[in-house]
Amino acid sequence: MRRRQFITLLGGTVVWPVVTRAQQTDRSRRIGVLLNFTEGDPEVKERLAAFRQGLEKRGWLEGRNIHVDYRFTAVKTDRFPALAKELIALQPDVILAHSTASVAALQNETRTIPIVFVNVSDPIGLRFVSSLARPGGNLTGVLHLEASIVSKWLAMLKEIAPGITNVALLGNRRATSFDYFLQFAQAEMPSLTIKMATSDVETAADIERSIETLARVPNSGLVLPPDSTTIAHRDLIIALAARHNLPAVYPLRLFVAAGGLMSYGTDQNDMFRLAGSYVDRILRGDNPAELPVRAPTRFETVVNLKTAKALGLTVPPGLLVAADEVIE
């Protein structure tokens, strides 16, 4: 059972254009998918399976009435522009875009082909949509995280390591919604008696330098907002946190599965299933400009007991009870 739920935004929909079910199934429809993953990554296989489930539930079967073109960046943001051009040239009926960088690259190529996004946390600030209730263009999708989630991450750190007084927010300012989370974090600091530092990273060398600098300050911890750079270097970050005995909270389960301490964030498979429902609505004629950006419906807390023990931390009973998954 999921313990954190956000209320889905409500809004009207306008048919764009009116298309009957019979008209929709008389030819194969084309879907483009642009993903910030390596093709063989187990995470991407799970998420794409969930996306297909969302489509199949509504009658769309790959190889029968839909054709799907996949493009994978292998977590290299410089590949987005070229792959976006490739997908747009195929003239799909709709595109699934994973991550902020993916959406930005596609938006540079088209303002007409409908795009459904996932893993985007600040679509208004990024100027992808005019509002959550009424996006107003060719983009809509599933909101990844609200900025207020920072308070949850900080509270988890204080719960598992009460002595923490310094926290670094680690991420790539140019590749994600870093400032979106930073502004909220700075507002939360006084109430938690924590000093906030920022670590702007783009490369493995940046990450190593930033974490080693933080480790010199006693009673420190790490908070990672969602970011393609830190996802790409997650093994390095986890190893450095272990070496320097730094408690860290992550935005995605995949960090904890790889040996990170704990995470709190959206259920990624559920987000991809929801995205499938929006792709269905667009294929059936709904206008993305009128489809409200959906809030995520499922959140998950994951804790790694082995990592906690290695860091000399005792996981409080309340955190264990709240956990959706405990890795031992």
Q: Are residues 36 and 138 in the same domain?
A: yes
Q: Are residues 223 and 314 in the same domain?
A: yes
Q: What is the CATH number of the domain that holds 285?
A: 3.40.50.2300
> In this structure, is residue 10 part of a structural domain?
no
Q: What is the mean pLDDT of residues 149-165?
A: 93
Q: Are residues 58 and 191 in the same domain?
A: no
Q: Which helix (H) or strand (E) holds 188?
A: helix 178-192
Structural domain harbouring 133: 21-145+267-298
Among 210, 213, 216, CA closest to 236: 210
Token pair recorded at residue 23: 């008209």
Q: For residue 17, say if its preceding peptide bond is cis, omega within 30 degrees of 0.
A: yes
> In this structure, is residue 13 part of a structural domain?
no
pLDDT tens, position by position, 8-57: 333 333 333 333 333 344 578 999 999 988 888 888 899 999 999 999 99
Burial bucket for residue 203 (CB in 10 Å: 0-12, 13-18, 19+): exposed
pTM: 0.85
- The structural domain count of the chain equals 2
Among 226, 222, 217, 168, CA closest to 196: 168
Is the pLDDT assigned to residue 296 strictly greater than 70? yes
> In this structure, is residue 7 part of a structural domain?
no
Q: Are residues 84 and 162 in the same domain?
A: no
> In this structure, is residue 242 part of a structural domain?
yes
Is the pLDDT assigned to residue 1 strictly greater than 80? no
> In this structure, is residue 248 part of a structural domain?
yes
> In this structure, is residue 4 part of a structural domain?
no
Placement of tokens 């489809």 in the chain: 291
Q: Are residues 99 and 169 in the same domain?
A: no
- Residues 6+ positions from 267 with CB-CB distance below 8 Å: 2, 296, 298, 299, 300
Q: Are residues 201 and 279 in the same domain?
A: no
Q: Are residues 155 and 190 in the same domain?
A: yes
Q: Are residues 102 and 181 in the same domain?
A: no
Q: Are residues 173 and 49 in the same domain?
A: no
Token pair recorded at residue 111: 């303002």
* CA dist., res. 76 & res. 80, Å (int): 8
Q: Are residues 109 and 167 in the same domain?
A: no
Is the pLDDT assigned to residue 251 strictly greater than 90? yes
Q: Are residues 69 and 190 in the same domain?
A: no
Q: What is the pLDDT of residue 23?
A: 38
Q: Are residues 86 and 44 in the same domain?
A: yes
> In this structure, is residue 236 part of a structural domain?
yes
Q: What is the mean pLDDT of residues 285-291?
A: 97
Q: What is the mean pLDDT of residues 89-100?
A: 96
